[in-house]
Structure 1
């Protein structure tokens, strides 16, 4: 059996840069920003995520939540390094994408299309499920 497992492993393709588990939590108060969360799976080489955009928001910014002096603060991120063969999660309480001026027609249960742009010119298109402000998040 060990020989078969080695043969199967040798035939596998290297993992590719990918995005999955994307979701968006709408703002509790109309006019406030929504937040997007997802996981980036690093491919065989390191990559640098430089933007995450959608046509349903006027502006989007990558942010990270940090605690300083016992207070949670958000800081914008210009880029996020994605090491080779490593998962980088954007999740509540950590990295996330703020979506400003989201189209008011976007409602719970819809899907939003995103473009993930990397420094080497790679673009990944992926959609995200939309949940309401009070819904439990994560997938």
Structure 2
């Protein structure tokens, strides 16, 4: 019985020593209502043990991508490109409608809601994260 307790205490102690891992989850893409317009990608970045920055997001499904942010300025919503996005250590940074997002230009008109496309996120620390993003219809949030 004592050895079982010792093993459990050791497991709990080791779990507390795990370093936070840089990761991305809940990725989705809102398809454009008109095929010649850009789509938008959204996701959540979980910061790792050290701070870094998101430098770029790419996808073979888009000819060009850009990091953007929506802001409320002087009573109006404005959108501006971002050079990068800081990802503090252990923090969560959301890319969501009305805030930070990735513009996906020249998406194939063949893409349909319910499908998936790959996204590749490149960080300043040299790490890349590859994920699949669910395709959603224009106006569909969840």
Question: TM-score, structure 1 length as denominator?
Answer: 0.91
RMSD: 1.6
Are 1:19 and 2:20 an aligned pair?
A: no
Q: Distance in 1 between matches of 2:72 and 2:90?
A: 28
Report the alpha carbon displacement of residue 122 of structure 1 after superposing the two structures with TM: 0.8
Q: Deviations over 1:57-107 (max 9, x none)?
A: 010001000011111000100100100000000000100000010011111
Q: Distance in 2 between matches of 1:8 and 1:75?
A: 47
Are 1:49 and 2:71 an aligned pair?
A: no
Q: Distance in 2 between matches of 1:131 and 1:65?
A: 20
Alignment length, in residue pairs? 135
Larger Rg: 2
Question: TM-score, structure 2 length as denominator?
Answer: 0.89
Q: Distance in 1 between matches of 2:140 and 2:52?
A: 32
Report the alpha carbon displacement of residue 4 of structure 1 after superposing the two structures with TM: 9.1
Report the alpha carbon displacement of residue 134 of structure 1 after superposing the two structures with TM: 2.6
**Runs of 5+ in structure 2 lacking a partner?**
1-5
Q: Distance in 1 between matches of 2:141 and 2:87?
A: 27
> What residue is the counterpart of 1:109 in the other structure?
114
Are 1:95 and 2:106 an aligned pair?
A: no
**Runs of 5+ in structure 1 lacking a partner?**
none
